[in-house]
Amino acid sequence: MPVVELSYSRLLHLIDDSKITKKDVSERLPYLGLDIEYDDDTVVRVEYSPNRPDYSTDIGIALGLQGLLGVRSGPPQFGFMDGTATYSINATESVTGVRPIITGIVAKRHKENLDDVTLRQLVTMQEDLHAGLGRNRRKVAIGLHDLDKIGRFPLTYTTTSPSSHKFVPLNGQEAMTVSEILTGTKAGRAYASLLGDASRVPVILDADKNTISLPPIINSDMTMVTTDTKNILVDITGTSRHATENVLGIVAMTLKAAGFSLESIRITGSGNSTPKLAYRTQTVTTEEISERLGLDITAADAVSFLGKARLEAVKTPDGAVKCKIPPYRSDITSSTDLVEEVVLGYGAWRLKPRLSPPQTFGSFASPESQVMASIDKAMIGMGYLEALNPSLSSARILYEAVNRRPDMDSMVMVVDSKSSEHTIMRDMLLPGLVENLSRNVHEQYPQRLYETGTVFLKQAGARHSGPGSSPDSNIHPDSRGDKVGRGGACTVSELTNLACVTAHAKSDYAETKSVLQSLLDTDFGIKFQTIPDTHHIFEDGRCARIVAQDYSIGYAGMIDSAITALYRIRVPVCGFEISLNGSLL
């Protein structure tokens, strides 16, 4: 998902309330639907969902926080001024078969020039919108221009010959033909395919025939936006009217919140029209809200909560709630979306989890569930984070990357899998945990992960009592019956294992054994012993077999350094995997 970097001091400035603290902001960010990727005293990086492109800047996120923290209520107002007498764009018929839609807006900053941080936020928003709603500029492309560098209006959106039309592209030094731009610049090579083999390409010209833009490829260097810019012209071109208007709403909201005043542009020709930035309406009943949330929500409550979600709502005569959707919220398309906004305003942190009534004779109070809950409590108490990896894995993760030799007789494989990463039912948990560590090498250490999950083995079964003793064996209870070869009848055993890994500069076997000691002996009263052994996933001489109740239940040790090197993990990794069947379950 896309990531945006936020400065706490700038966020607090944008929220504009002296009572709000950094702690308030950091605690509420996740409840906007933002995943925190990195956080320190000054900067926080968050991932936002692509369906909330208005969160592509700290400006949009600050607007959401204002509502959640009670600083502002209702949607930000555009304060749209009619500037059509001054600014206009005419589209010629020639663009119809190439890139037919154009819209735009003028944003003016009357007090000071554009600061560097806001400029970088606007550029980030532009590229995120290109990648998301714009489908890599195919559907929508945005141009930001210094309004004061444009000669005279009206502008013309038309087409031209790529071999003869020349201008200086953004950051260029000399005039180039469009053909040269498409082959000789980074942006040209990246997006030339969007124009196909058209004999004429779209351009935006001012009244003096100076080139403003070559959409969706590159702007003219003449109108480059810098920190000296006070006034901005935004042009948005595309192939979908709905998509271009959605993007315009987001850009306009962001510029308004950044301190600009907005003026409209008169747009005519080739089926185009002046943008209205109109609000939509969506209705939801209190019955639907209450049923979905499990709360008793009145219409007055819903109106208040929607206001905190930066929406405007009123109670209808029949007791429902009618909400005005601002043009930058293209993600709201149904009453279900409004229920989610009610949760946002209500405060998701206030929701209390509640188990559904049991529909069968099973319940959370079963002995197995209690054991699993106790294991979770113990592992989390020792500082481990739970991982939830899929049961379907791949030969690369389960075997190739961890020095194991596949056993075709025992592997449970998927026929005609649609993904090469999901072809085999896992028979161990440790390979998946090592894969998790490899995806977090940029994070701080120590890293401690554990997983309790199902493993699968194709075999004929008797009593499951302990893992096999071969170094190539899987960590699972042993089968005392005869193994059935391929082509014969067989069963698939579904067994429950527990595995953990510890990664940091001083990680060693002693730490791993102490975790086992705390879990098995202290928490469950199970005595065990460790016997030196070998297993391909562990370093030679640093591996032990775990024996409890006269059965081998797993292995512990230091992960082979060749494996960690392959995964680019630069610290020692230790871990264990044990079978819970027959010992704890």
Instruction: Kindly list the structural domains of the chain, giving each domain's residue range(s) and its CATH number in brackets, ordered by start.
Output: 3-68 (3.30.56.10), 88-268 (3.50.40.10), 280-349 (3.30.56.10), 367-579 (3.30.930.10)
pLDDT band at 366 (very low <50, low <70, confident <90, very high): confident
pLDDT of residue 175: 96
The residue-averaged pLDDT of 77-98 equals 90
Run of H or E residues at 9: helix 8-15
Tell which residue, 387, 423, 418, has the closest CA to residue 406: 423
363 pLDDT higher than 70: no
327 pLDDT higher than 70: yes
pLDDT of residue 93: 96
Phi-psi region of 87 (alpha: psi -120 to 50; beta: other; left: phi over 0): beta
Distances (CA, A) of 167 to 175, 200, 206: 5, 16, 13
Q: For residue 471, what is the DSSP state?
A: T
Distances (CA, A) of 408 to 341, 485, 487, 502, 556: 51, 9, 11, 31, 25
CA–chain centroid gap for 444, Å, is 20
479 pLDDT higher than 70: no
270 pLDDT higher than 70: yes
The percent of residues in the chain predicted with pLDDT above 70, rounded, is 93
- Please tell me the distance from the alpha carbon of residue 500 to that of residue 138, in angstroms, as a whole number: 46
Half-sphere exposure of 189 (CA within 13 A, CB side): 4
| Mean pLDDT rounded to a whole number for the chain | 89
- Please tell me the distance from the alpha carbon of residue 304 to that of residue 306, in angstroms, as a whole number: 6
Alpha-carbon torsion (285, 291, 297, 303), positive or negative: negative
pLDDT band at 475 (very low <50, low <70, confident <90, very high): low
- Please, are residues 225 and 144 in contact by the beta-carbon 8 Å criterion? yes
pTM: 0.66
Residue whose tokens read 């229920």 = 339
pLDDT band at 468 (very low <50, low <70, confident <90, very high): very low
pLDDT band at 489 (very low <50, low <70, confident <90, very high): low
238 pLDDT higher than 50: yes
The residue-averaged pLDDT of 65-73 equals 94
pLDDT of residue 361: 66
pLDDT of residue 483: 33
pLDDT of residue 111: 74
- Please tell me the distance from the alpha carbon of residue 553 to that of residue 545, in angstroms, as a whole number: 8
* Tokens encoding 332: 């709201």
- Write the pLDDT tens digit of every residue in 422-439: 888 899 999 999 999 999
Run of H or E residues at 516: helix 509-516
169 pLDDT higher than 90: yes
499 pLDDT higher than 70: yes
- Write the pLDDT tens digit of every residue in 125-152: 999 999 999 999 999 999 999 999 999 9
- Number of other residues whose CB lies within 10 A of the CB of residue 200: 17
177 pLDDT higher than 60: yes
